[in-house]
Amino acid sequence: MNIGDVSRRSGLPAKTIRYYEEIGLIRPARSPNGYRSFRESDLHRLAFLGRARALGFTIEECRALLALYQDDGRESAQVKQIAEDHLARIDDKIAQLQSMRATLAHLVSCCAGDDRPDCPILDDLSAGVGAPHDG
Partner DNA sequence: CCTTGACCCTCCAGTGACTGGAGGCCCTAT
Partner DNA sequence: ATAGGGCCTCCAGTCACTGGAGGGTCAAGG
Which residues, at least 6 apart from 52, have a Cβ–Cβ distance to it below 8 Å?
61, 62, 65
Interface contacts to its own copies, rule CB under 8 A: 9-10, 40, 43-44, 46-48, 50-52, 54-56, 65, 68-69, 71-77, 79-81, 83-84, 86-87, 90-91, 93-94, 97-98, 100-101, 103-105, 107-108, 111-119, 121-122, 124-129, 131-132
Q: Which of 52, 39, 111 is nearest to 79 (CA)?
A: 52
Q: Please, how many CA atoms are within 13 Å of residue 30, restricted to the half-sphere of its CB?
A: 6
Q: How far is the CB of 34 from its own copies (least distance, A)?
A: 26
Choose among DNA, its own copies, none what residue 134 binds, the Cβ cut-off being 5 to 8 Å by kind.
none
Q: Taking the C-alpha atoms of 15, 22, 24 and 19 in order, what is their torsion angle to the nearest 10 degrees?
A: -20
Nearer Cβ to DNA (4/113): 4
Taking CB under 7 A as the rule, does residue 48 contact DNA? no
Q: Is 16 in the site for DNA (CB under 7 A)?
A: yes
- 71 torsion bin: left (phi>0), alpha (psi -120 to 50), beta (else): beta
Q: Smallest gap, in angstroms, from Cβ of residue 36 to DNA?
A: 3
CB 25 within 8 A of CB 66: yes
Residues that bind DNA (CB under 7 A): 2-5, 7, 13-16, 18-19, 31-36, 53, 58-60
